[in-house]
Structure 1
């Protein structure tokens, strides 16, 4: 492999995740919650496809992270890319707004875990709520549970 000694010793990341934002479980739940709230759901025509995909899925929703306090900042950042994401398109639709209320999390699949802990049970979803669970610094100290930075208070003023 490539070795550049001036960059320091090689290292290995301890965890790698795949984003699973398009999980069937998420969008079926949002569909049902929208109907319960008397809202029209854009997912009615897609339910069978969602269910089929859910039954055949090969991905695993190992991790659920509460991101509700970051959604405003995320949406504002995406709006600055109007040439790539239509501000009037589906991403900013009523269903996406409903997702903020009914499913305020982001889901991930733990693809690589080199933390040394016992493997998670792949038959169970949502076993983690912290992307840094069991990650350690080079000296062996665990990354603190409160290692996440809070969202900027100014971001809340953007709604």
Structure 2
């Protein structure tokens, strides 16, 4: 039996910044990995000056981001599907959501499209965002909501009866990749091994503003050897990831020495497993 993992993300580029090394790791192990992008990222800003000079970034940003997503897909090697919704943007507080955008449509309606994909792909593990969406973007929050609905209903034949044969996912995880424990560990490694590095002060500032974020991760996946491929996939999303992006703040050598992991929190499980894990498929028996 081939193990299968599905990861549900809000926009193209989220899959590369939030778990790409883990996807590469499991593909290398022989698993199947499917990424679902809920929206096309049409309302995202173009953050790369060179890309902003490309007329396509103004004429057809949606098409540009689809091209970028295809390159990232080919770099990591996962399967990919669009859920088909329109990016909601990030309205100012108190401003309405764009009509018909992903976050404007009730979660129970949008969840049917995801349930259909789940029942077709039949994954054993689902990864998505936590209750706050990882950060409070309306599309990230809606992504969490429809993922929870899919987790709860995909195996129920009475729910969305026209969306395919029921399939129960075994485990649900939230990504916890950028976390305070990681930052603290990198800081201590720098103090112990490279105290004159300019990164010491910068990471100290990062520790300060992250200090109130409790670390809730339960699974550490050792994926350091895939960091270069993760970065290549990130750079494929050139409209969102300029060369000086904060994603490349730390060298991969430093990350491998101090924290060669991507972290996840087990949010729900239908199989017995341990409190802390080194494998997202732990507890899922062959033939399940």
Aligned twin of 1:153: none
The one of 245, 253, 260 equivalent to 1:89 is 245
> Separation in 2 of the partners of 1:50 and 1:33?
18
Q: Indicate the SS of the match to 1:72.
A: helix
1:47 aligns with 2:203: no
> Separation in 2 of the partners of 1:109 and 1:50?
18
Q: TM-score, normalised by structure 1?
A: 0.69
Give the structure, 1 or 2, with the largest relative contact order (CA under 8 Å, sep 6 or more).
1
Q: Which moved more, 1:100-109 or 1:29-38?
A: 29-38
Contact (CA 8 Å) 2:223, 2:260: kept in 1 or not?
Answer: yes
Aligned twin of 2:120: none
The alignment of Structure 1 onto Structure 2 pairs a total of residues equal to 126
Q: Indicate the SS of the match to 2:281.
A: coil
More helix by share: 2
Aligned twin of 2:171: 15
> Separation in 2 of the partners of 1:96 and 1:70?
10
Aligned twin of 1:29: 185
Measured at CA, do residues 135 and 112 of structure 1 come closer, stay the same or move farther in structure 2, by a change above 3 Å?
A: same
Aligned twin of 2:4: none
Aligned twin of 1:134: 283
CA displacement 1:11-35 (0-9 Å, x = unmatched): 1101011110121011111012123
Extract unaligned runs of 5+ from structure 2.
1-158
Q: TM-score, normalised by structure 2?
A: 0.40
* CA RMSD, 1 decimal: 2.2
1:75 aligns with 2:238: no
> Separation in 1 of the partners of 2:190 and 2:267?
32
Contact (CA 8 Å) 2:224, 2:255: kept in 1 or not?
Answer: no
CA displacement 1:1-58 (0-9 Å, x = unmatched): 32137x4x301101011110121011111012123222222212232333332xxx2x
Aligned twin of 1:146: none
Shift of 1:96: 5.8
Extract unaligned runs of 5+ from structure 1.
122-126, 143-159
Measured at CA, do residues 82 and 92 of structure 1 come closer, stay the same or move farther in structure 2, by a change above 3 Å?
A: same
